[in-house]
Amino acid sequence: MLKKTLVLALLAASSATFAGNWQVKVGVSDIAPSGESNLANGAVKNAQASNEVAFTPSVEYFFGNTPFSAELLLANPVSHDVKSDNLGKIASLKELPPTLTVKYNFKNSTRFTPYVGIGATAFLPWDVKSKLPGAKIGADNAFGVAGQVGVNYKPKDAQNWGLYFDVRYADINTDIKVNGAKVGSLDVNPVVYTVGYSYRF
C-alpha cells in the first residue's frame, strides 16, 4: 500500500511539474533560399536552390514560469531544384532542415505573445540528382546559425490552443562536388515563413 501511494505521489508531482510546459505546433512553411553562388571557377553562375512549401511541425518546451523556451522545428522531406543563370536547372535534391532555437517570449496583458529566438540549424541533403550529362553531383551535410522572430495569438475563448506566425533565417552553405571533386560552396541561407496552429499541454 505504501509503495502504491509513493508511486501515485511521484506521478502527481511529475504531472504538476510538466503541465503546461509543452507545446506542439503544426504549421506550413515557405522555405525560400536567399543565397546564390558561382561554382566551378565561374563556369556555373549564380546557382540557387528553389523555393518550396513544406509541412513543418515543431515541439516547444517552456522553462517553468520564465519567459524562456526551446523549440525544435522539424519538417517532412523538402525537395529543391538547383538552377543557375547560364545553365538552367543543374540538379535536384531532397533535404531535412531541423532547427533548434532558444526563445524569449515577451509576456504581456494582450492575447499576442511576440518572441525572438536564436539557435542552430542543419542542412541534411540526399538523393542529389544531376541534370548535367556525364556529371555526378553531391552535396555535403551542413550546419549553421539560425534566428527567429514571431508572434503567438490566443483567441478569447481558447483554453490551450492558439495561432502563430514566425520567420526564421539561417546562415548556411553546403559544399558541392562534381564527380568527387569540390567545385565550391552553395549558399542556401533560407528564409522560412511559417503559419500554423499551436496547442499547449
DSSP state of 70: E
Mean pLDDT of 33-51: 95
62/15 Cα distance (integer angstroms): 14
| Global pTM value | 0.86
Q: How confident is the model at residue 157 (pLDDT cuts 50, 70, 90)?
A: confident
Distance CA 123, CA 188 (A): 9
The helix (H) or strand (E) run that includes residue 15 is helix 2-18
pLDDT of residue 158: 86
Helix, strand, coil shares of the chain, percent, nearest 5, are: 10, 65, 25
- Convert the pLDDT of each residue in 91-148 to its tens digit: 999 999 999 999 999 999 999 999 999 999 999 999 999 999 989 999 999 999 999 9
Q: Is the model's pLDDT at 7 over the cut of 80?
A: no
Q: What is the mean pLDDT of residues 86-93?
A: 95
pLDDT digits (tens, 9 = 90+) for 45-63: 999 999 999 999 999 999 9
C-alpha torsion sign, points 21, 26, 28, 31? positive
Output the furthest CA–CA distance in the chain (Å, rounded).
Answer: 78
Report the C-alpha gap between 97 and 42 in whole angstroms: 28
The pLDDT assigned to 172 comes to 96
DSSP state of 13: H
- What does the pLDDT read at residue 159? 85
Q: How far apart are CA 109 and CA 82, in angstroms?
A: 46
User: What band does 13 get if pLDDT is binned at 50, 70 and 90?
Assistant: very low
- In order of start, what are the domains of the chain with their CATH numbers? 22-200 (2.40.160.20)
